Amino acid sequence: MKSNPIILAHGLMGFEELNIIPKAVLPGIQYWRGIREALAAKGIEVITATVPASGSIEARAQKLSEDIHKKAKGKSVNIIAGLDSRYMISQLKPANVKVLSLTTIATPHRATNIPKLYTMLEFFGFETGAFSQLTQSYMSQTFNPKTPDREGISYYSYGANVNPRFWSMFRQSHRIIQKLEGENDGLVSVESAKWGTYKGTLKDVSHLDMINWTNRLRWFLWELTGNKRNFNAIAFYLDIADMLAKEGH
């Protein structure tokens, strides 16, 4: 079955490859751990895009557009990304980028009630535009009304929920979002993640699990109690690729 290239664009505070020490000494840390390789092994062309880690949606969208233009070389593409892709498709409408579909995974389409981490990031000199835009008032009154879906492009979305154990880094944020928005993955609620054709909710999956940054200690302790690991990020992305191919993308 023919498939078009898939663009993988990281989320907030993400990166394509993180090199803590010189690459010649130790390979860098890949954001899409094993996912890019698994898709490529199935004959799917994978293009990774790098955008400002915490810049505004507009700045990230502009860089995404430039990356796709440079790397896709005029090919029609399917994008797996977030709000910056929605803005690029709807507002920038780059003539040199042909988008067939956009799939978002636990993307805060209707904001998120995470604590305002951007105040701390500002202190250390990071760009914080994206964090300041993730408020309910901005998303409902400004971003969503001004960023309509484009006709002829398919929009798919997935959400996730998790019940954090006591060692989870998402325990506190999950509690806050649960009280205000309901079930969530520690950063984004299921309701906020819904956009376009909603493909389903991933069960007992955290925000980091979805990019294969699995908490190995969590799963080790979980399996000691006789429970089985219920999520495989690589298989999940292969399923998305299969879905896109079946939809004719």
**75-122 per-position pLDDT tens digit:** 999 999 999 999 999 999 998 899 999 999 999 999 887 644 445 445
pTM, entire model: 0.83
In a domain, 156, yes or no: yes
Residue 114 contacts residue 136 (beta carbons within 8 Å): no
Q: What is the dihedral of CA 16, 148, 104, 101, to 10 degrees?
A: -90
SS3 content of the chain, % helix, strand, coil (to 5): 40, 15, 45
Bigger pLDDT: 13 or 245? 245
- Give me the pLDDT at residue 245, please: 94
Average pLDDT in the 7-30 region? 54
In a domain, 1, yes or no: no
- Give me the pLDDT at residue 120, please: 47
In a domain, 75, yes or no: yes
- Give me the pLDDT at residue 211, please: 66
In a domain, 98, yes or no: yes
In a domain, 119, yes or no: yes
Bigger pLDDT: 193 or 228? 193
Give the 3-state secondary structure of residue 88.
Answer: helix
Lowest mean pLDDT among 3-12, 112-121, 232-241: 112-121
- Give me the pLDDT at residue 136, please: 87
Give the 3-state secondary structure of residue 115.
Answer: coil
- Give me the pLDDT at residue 210, please: 74
Total structural domains in the chain? 1
In a domain, 77, yes or no: yes
- Give me the pLDDT at residue 199, please: 97
Q: pLDDT per residue over 24-73, tens digit each?
A: 444 445 567 788 889 999 999 999 988 877 678 899 899 999 999 999 99
- Give me the pLDDT at residue 202, please: 94
Average pLDDT in the 215-224 region? 50
Q: Which domain holds residue 168?
A: 6-246
Residue 132 contacts residue 68 (beta carbons within 8 Å): no
Q: pLDDT per residue over 141-186, tens digit each?
A: 999 999 999 999 999 999 999 988 777 778 888 888 899 899 998 8
Token look-up 């959400």 returns 159
Runs of H (alpha helix) within 49-143:
57-72, 83-87, 118-123, 129-133, 136-138
Residues 6+ apart with CB under 8 A from 218: 165, 167, 168
- Give me the pLDDT at residue 28, please: 46
In a domain, 76, yes or no: yes
CATH of the domain at 103: 3.40.50.1820
Rounded to the nearest integer, the mean pLDDT of the chain is 81
Bigger pLDDT: 16 or 157? 157
Give the 3-state secondary structure of residue 83.
Answer: helix
In a domain, 193, yes or no: yes
- Give me the pLDDT at residue 201, please: 96
